[in-house]
Amino acid sequence: MMQPHAQYTERFLKAAVARPVGLLLVTLALLVPTAWAAEPVKISSLQTYPESYKMKVVQVQGTVSGYRMHHFIGNNTKLEKCVQDFMVEDGTGMIQASYAALCQMGPVMLQDGDEVTIEGHFLGTLDVRSVRKH
């Protein structure tokens, strides 16, 4: 049978560990939805209020046009990079976007007329980090 002091110590240790773990889980539960998906934004909003979105991750839906592909090999890594530059138009405006990825990783390849949802950092243009075709 445990001594009263040992029982108290065991309960104290369990509580001391459980509180921070519980707090961490609650914090992560609140942060995960915002980390996984940006709020959809109209291109006209990006153009009207650029300072509000500067350096933030935004999501835009629209149609690809003016598509151009560039390939280059990295100096240090010797890996082939695919850089896709294009415009996205959503009916409220048009914005330049650039999507860079390692060609070997099988990035989503775009073409004019594709309907897409893109997510990226807004820097006056969109530095795309993910693309989904519809």
The domain spanning residue 95 has which CATH number?
A: 2.40.50.140
Closest-CA residue to 59 (of 70, 48, 43): 43
pTM, full prediction: 0.69
Position 95 scores a pLDDT of: 98
Are residues 28 and 65 part of one domain?
no
Are residues 48 and 5 part of one domain?
no
Can you tell me the distance from the alpha carbon of 86 to that of 84, in angstroms, rounded to the nearest whole number?
A: 7
Position 22 scores a pLDDT of: 52
Are residues 56 and 122 part of one domain?
yes
Position 118 scores a pLDDT of: 97
Are residues 88 and 122 part of one domain?
yes
Are residues 126 and 62 part of one domain?
yes
23 pLDDT above the threshold of 70: no
- Given a contact cutoff of 8 angstroms between Cβ atoms, the answer to whether 69 and 44 are in contact is no
Look up residue 51 and give its two tokens: 């300072």
Are residues 91 and 47 part of one domain?
yes
Q: Using CB atoms within 10 Å of the CB of residue 55, give its burial: 0 to 12 exposed, 13 to 18 middle, 19+ buried.
A: exposed
Are residues 57 and 28 part of one domain?
no
pLDDT per residue over 56-112, tens digit each? Answer: 999 999 999 999 999 989 888 889 999 999 999 999 999 999 999 999 888 999 999
What rounded mean pLDDT belongs to the chain?
A: 83
- Per residue, what are the HEC states of the chain? CCCHHHHHHHHHHHHHHHHHHHHHHHHHHHHHHHHHCCCECCHHHHHHCHHHHCCCEEEEEEEEEEEEEEEEECCCCCCEEEEEEEEEECCCCEEEEEEEEEHHHCCCCCCCCCEEEEEEEECCCEEEEEEEEC
Are residues 72 and 103 part of one domain?
yes
Position 48 scores a pLDDT of: 97
Position 36 scores a pLDDT of: 45
The range of the structural domain enclosing residue 50 comes to 43-133
Position 2 scores a pLDDT of: 54
Are residues 61 and 29 part of one domain?
no
Structural domain total, the chain: 2
3 pLDDT above the threshold of 80: no
Are residues 112 and 71 part of one domain?
yes
Are residues 96 and 47 part of one domain?
yes
Position 75 scores a pLDDT of: 84
